Amino acid sequence: MPPVANRTTDIEIPRAAWSSWKESGKARQLRRPLTVCEVRALEDRRDELAPTVAPYDPREADRVALTLTDMYGGYPSMGSRGDQSVAGRVEAVRRTVAAFPCWAIEKACQSIHANGVWRDGAYDRKWPPTDAEIVDAVREAARLYTDSYRSAVNLLAAEVEEDHYFHATKAAAE
């Protein structure tokens, strides 16, 4: 796994390059063009994070199913259901979390198995999590990596804002 944070690409470049305001209805723009070194650093960070935030590979489907089965095994109410019911539940949730990386699914399921689900201000170990609660936990597990990845992608795709002051000054001088 790559480092969770990179000071240069995750903090310094965004702080220096993003415009301080966003025009309504438009994508956020850069206050200045990125330097060649900044572009290279952001491309490296994007490429480094891409496999980490990619959806799990179909070859990992059994691993994801086992992780979900282990998580559900921590809930006594799931034991009273038949094997087919639990297998159907695992398959349905596996398809629901298919857009997330395997490591994030494993991390979230291990946390849910150990702690339960956060409900009404406390961890609940009595009832198994809903699909939405599992997705929220997986999304949270992957959040730092996905935020850094999206930041790099957005910075590389952003346009430089027009300098209205520069254009007005230039027009007045002519």
Contacts with 69 (C-beta within 8 Å, 6 or more apart), sequence order: 86, 90
What is the CB-side half-sphere exposure of residue 124 using CA atoms within 13 A? 12
Indicate whether 42 and 88 sit together in one domain.
no
Q: Is residue 78 part of a domain?
A: yes
Q: Are residues 45 and 79 in the same domain?
A: no
* Number of domains forming the structure of the chain: 2
User: Does residue 46 form part of some domain?
Assistant: yes
* 18 three-state secondary structure: strand
Q: Does 157 fall in a domain? A: yes
Whether 154 and 137 map to the same domain: the answer is: no
Q: Are residues 37 and 82 in the same domain?
A: no
- Do 95 and 112 lie in one domain? The reply is yes
Considering the domain boundaries, does residue 172 fall inside one?
no
- Identify the pLDDT of residue 165: 45
> Within a domain: residue 96?
yes
Q: pLDDT tens digit string along 2-11?
A: 999 999 999 9
pLDDT score, position 84: 75
Query: Where in the sequence is the domain holding 70, given as residue range(s)?
Result: 58-143
Question: pTM for this structure?
Answer: 0.84
Residues 62 and 130 in one domain: yes
Q: What is the mean pLDDT of the chain?
A: 90
Residues 67 and 127 in one domain: yes
131 with 70, same domain: the answer is yes
What DSSP designation does 163 have? -
Residues 121 and 50 in one domain: no
Q: Does 173 reside within a domain?
A: no
Domain-located, residue 156 = yes
β-pairing verdict for 117-119 and 122-124: antiparallel
Exposed, middle or buried by CB within 10 Å (0-12, 13-18, 19+), for 142? buried
Q: Do 21 and 97 fall within a single domain? A: no
pLDDT tens per residue, range 10-65: 999 999 999 988 888 888 999 999 999 999 999 999 999 999 999 999 999 999 99
> Same domain for 138 and 70?
yes
The tens digit of pLDDT for each residue in 99-145 reads 999 999 999 999 999 999 989 999 988 889 999 999 999 999 999 99
* Same domain as 30, residue 92: no
Residue 34 lies in a domain: yes
